[in-house]
Amino acid sequence: MFFMRLLSILTFLFVLFVVPALAQQAIIGLGKSPLPINQYFTVSISAQDQPIKDYTPFPEIEGFKKSSKFSSTKTIITGGETTIIYTITQNYAALDEGEYEIEPFSMKVNGQTVQTKRMVLKITPMVVSDFAVEDDEQAVEEAEEDITEPEFINKDDNAFLTLYLDKEEVYVGEGVNVALYFYLAEEDQRLLEFYNFEEQITTLLRQLKQPNVWEEAFDFTEVTPEHITVQGHPYLRFKLYEAVLYPINSNPIKFPALSLQMIKYKVAKNPSLLTEDRQEGYKTYFAREREVLVKELPPHPLRNMVPVGNYRLRESLSSRKVPVNKSFNYLFQIEGEGNLAAIVSPTPTPPAALELYPPDIRQDITKRAGRVTGAKTFTYHVLAREPGNYNLSDVVEWIYFNPTTATYDTLQAKLTASVVGQRDNNAMILSRDLGPFYKIIDNEDATLQSLHQVNDIKRYTNIILVVLLAISSFVFIRSKKQ
């Protein structure tokens, strides 16, 4: 009996400490193969129920060049339990067509080391696309001229700091993409370097912070250059900050003038006479003040409560024909672009013959290319007490404001559920499918557990320690006598 109790205690401790640790492991995901050369190969790291705060740099892959990086989150609410999956994805651009062997590599994510398997990736022919840069061409003309010194020439540079806004006027609740970029002409790479970057970026982020907005910031831990073209000239673009801001009232969003100090090298006037071919100096670059005007939504009874965005509806039924007193699931999914975190579940208005239970909620958000998109899914468990055809358009609808058309719109259910059979007034037990957790009840041990199990653990531990102490004392005394 003692050994059985001890075994149960050890099992309890294993479940208490080991199982939660396993549930929090991070994973690495690799992209698909084959892949056209004009598409990115991706490497993703994911963690469940813990934000990715610390991770080693993504690996360098031979035959590929690192490009942009983006983050996403998935929120799943089932049976009142919330699960959040955080993901960071690195894009890789292939340099040539062919087959590549990606050897196994490891990364450390939130202190955990995760490993990949070997992969063969096939890169197929590409389709060439042209890329354009918006709104930043005028800033090229703002490059400053410096003074020439006797031994070193302060060479002109083509570089500038700019705050990009994709809109200058939005409605309350409508998103505006904000990005802070530093541009540097490719031929001037030897002239400039970042200076005291961590301290300066902290100051810039504090200046960009807005008091009256909901911020969806884009996550990136490395400042890597993008190759772009401005007015026909090749530039390196460094993204220092990016977010989508959703104003919560009609106060304008105001950004102050921003500055970034860089190390600026002077070039030797006569390199053959000097031991050094450049001399370190400093130069400050400025981005002008910017402002976004915020408009009130048009008059409407729900003006202060409706979400804002471009949305569409996807819906489905677990079964189109259901017997009386049998449950079915109705999925109401809102997808599109907007502040998905602010969307609350629709309030159903079911007839007396239908019972709708609070929904399970799943949220998928992707932040990419200056946009926040995704889907929010509400899964309702429905129980019909009487036979008949039930048009769900009379039960569930969701009103929102579309900033593109500047009108209020409604996402309304279109499906019809058919309930068949005879009404059963004596039905006492609901047959709602409560999920896999309840399906294992019949197979589980129903033995009552003591509320004093922790005290029992302490008691048995003390007994073991006393026995070990007695044995040690006996051995010690006996060895002394010999």
Same-domain check for residues 56 and 101: yes
| Residue 135: per-residue pLDDT | 40
Same domain for 431 and 452? no
- Would you say 359 and 383 are in contact if contact means Cβ atoms under 8 Å apart? no
b/e for 216-235, b at 16 or more Cβ within 10 A?
A: bebbbeeebbeebebeeeeb
The amino acid at residue 148 is T
For 409-437, what is each residue's pLDDT tens digit? Answer: 999 999 999 999 887 655 544 444 555 65
Residue 213 — very low, low, confident or very high, per pLDDT cuts 50/70/90?
very high
Answer yes or no: is pLDDT of 298 > 80. Answer: yes
The residue with tokens 């902290």 is 202
Q: What is the pLDDT of residue 147?
A: 35
Sign of the C-alpha dihedral computed for residues 393, 398, 404 and 406 taken in this order: positive
> What pLDDT, on the 0 to 100 scale, is given for residue 40?
87
**Residues 261-284: tens digit of each pLDDT:** 999 998 877 654 334 567 889 999
Residue 395 lies in a domain: yes
Contact 327, 425 (CB under 8 A): no
Asked if the structure places residue 149 within a domain, the reply is yes
Residue 389 shares a structural domain with residue 461: no
Asked if residue 134 has pLDDT above 60, the reply is no
CA distances from 424 to 319, 352, 421, 429, 432 (A): 20, 15, 9, 11, 16
**Domain-located, residue 34:** yes
Residue 303 included in any domain? no
Q: Which helix (H) or strand (E) holds 299?
A: none
* Mean pLDDT calculated for residue range 24-44: 86
- Are 186 and 335 found together in one domain? no
Q: What is the pLDDT of residues 217-243, one digit of tens each?
A: 998 777 888 999 998 999 999 999 999
- The 10s digit of each residue's pLDDT in 85-116 is 888 999 988 888 889 989 999 999 988 899 89
Report yes or no on 256 lying in a domain: yes
Is 289's pLDDT higher than 70?
A: yes
pLDDT tens digits, 360-400: 999 999 998 889 999 999 999 999 889 999 999 989 999 99
Q: Are residues 184 and 260 in the same domain?
A: yes
Q: What is the pLDDT of residue 49?
A: 84
Q: Pick the last residue of a domain from 124, 148, 165.
A: 124
Place of tokens 């700091």: 161
One domain for residues 147 and 282: yes
The first and second tokens of residue 14, run together, are 């294993």
* One-character DSSP codes across 396-427: -EEEEEETTTTEEEEEE---EEEEES---TT-
- Are residues 368 and 469 both part of a single domain? no
Q: What is the CATH number of the domain that holds 341?
A: 2.60.40
Residue 44: exposed, middle, or buried by beta-carbon count in 10 A (0-12, 13-18, 19+)? middle
Whether the predicted pLDDT of 80 surpasses 70: no
Residues 104 and 141 in one domain: no
Q: Of 105, 27, 20, 26, nearest to 60 (Cα)?
A: 105
Q: From the centroid of its chain, how far is CA 138?
A: 33
Output DSSP code: residue 25.
-
This prediction has a pTM of 0.64
Residue 130 lies in a domain: no
Given 74, 90, 124, the domain boundary residue is 124
Q: What b/e string do you get for 186-210 counting C-beta neighbours within 10 Å, with b at 16 or more?
A: eebeebbebbeeeebbeebeeebeb
Q: Are residues 145 and 237 in the same domain?
A: yes
Helix 453-481 vs helix 2-23: angle between axes, to the nearest 10 degrees?
A: 110
Three-class secondary structure assignment of 231-290: CCEEEEEEEEEEEEEEECCCCCEEECCEEEEEEEEEEECCHHHCCCCEEEEEEEEEECCE
Are 151 and 290 part of one and the same domain? yes
Of 273, 295, 317, which residue constitutes the final position of a domain?
295
Q: What percent of the chain has pLDDT over 90?
A: 48
Letter for the amino acid at 434?
L
Count of other CB atoms within 10 angstroms of residue 401: 24
Would the pLDDT of 129 be above 60?
no
Q: What is the pLDDT of residue 127?
A: 58
Other beta carbons within 10 angstroms of residue 321's beta carbon come to: 10
**Span 54-77, mean pLDDT?**
85
Residue written as tokens 């609410």? 77
C-beta separation of 26 from 109 below 8 A:
yes
3-state secondary structure 57-70: CCCCCCCEEEEEEE
Domain membership flag for residue 77: yes
**Is the model more confident about 133 or about 117?**
117
Higher local confidence (pLDDT), 2 or 462? 462
Least confident of 139-143, 172-176, 292-296: 139-143
How many domains does the chain divide into? 4
Q: Which residues constitute the domain of residue 460?
A: 448-482
* pLDDT value at residue 10: 43
Say yes or no: 36 and 119 in one domain.
yes
The candidate with the shortest Cα–Cα distance to 217, out of 193, 191, 245, is 245
**369/284 same-domain check:** no
Using the predicted structure, report yes or no on whether residue 446 has a pLDDT greater than 70.
Answer: no
Name the percent of the chain lying above pLDDT 70: 81
**Interval 20-40 mean pLDDT:** 77
In a domain, 356, yes or no: yes
Task: Place 470 in a pLDDT band, splitting at 50, 70 and 90.
Answer: confident
* Alpha carbon distances (Å) from 257 to 163, 263, 283, 346: 9, 20, 16, 42
- Rounded to an integer, the average pLDDT of 199-209 is 94
pLDDT band at 320 (very low <50, low <70, confident <90, very high): confident
Angstrom distance (rounded) from CA 171 to CA 406: 9
Residues 6+ apart with CB under 8 A from 41: 31, 35, 61, 64, 91, 92, 93, 94, 121
Paired tokens of 294: 């915020």
